[in-house]
Amino acid sequence: MRSAARNAPCPCGSGRRFKGCCEPILGGEAAPSPEALMRSRYTAYATGAVRHLLRTTHPDGPHFRSDERTWAEELRNYCGLIDFVGLEVHEAAEAGEVGTVRFTAHFVHGGQGGAIEEHSRFRRVEGRWLYLDGEGGAPAP
């Protein structure tokens, strides 16, 4: 896991500073778009911001767990094992309360590089975007 200094480039690769990009969303602000939420979730995995991952996962999605304590521990362990080193957003769209983002997340695990390619789906619930599910990629806790 890496830390994110407020004035450093955001881990999500947007080119903006962390304090003006993912930090406010990690702090609880609503993401303005599915892409912004996906970028903030990538940053959460990269920095170990587990609470953000818990609160931005749709309860109908396959990754949601009702046992939040166990789920949080699984996420902490996962974030500690994987070093996320880059993000490419290929396309993002939204139509009403549904959004999609296709991306590639690059990582290092056990000294070996790899990538997760996913086409994610998001749903807006009470004005907040939530991660629902994705095709491709790798299972995350």
CB 38 within 8 A of CB 135: no
Q: What is the pTM of this model?
A: 0.94
What lies within 8 Å, CB to CB, of 20 at 6+ separation is none
How many of the other CB atoms lie within 10 Å of CB of 35?
A: 23
Give pLDDT tens digits for 17-76: 999 999 999 999 999 999 999 999 999 999 999 999 999 999 999 999 999 999 999 999
CA dist., res. 80 & res. 47, Å (int): 9
Residues in the chain: 141
Neighbouring C-beta atoms of residue 42, cutoff 10 Å: 22
Q: What is the reported pLDDT for 1?
A: 64
Out of 3-17, 50-64, 90-104, which region has the weakest mean confidence (pLDDT)? 3-17
Domain boundaries, the chain: 18-136
The CATH architecture one would assign to domain 18-136 is: Roll (3.10)
Residue 19, amino acid: K
C-alpha span between 108 and 62 (Å, rounded): 25
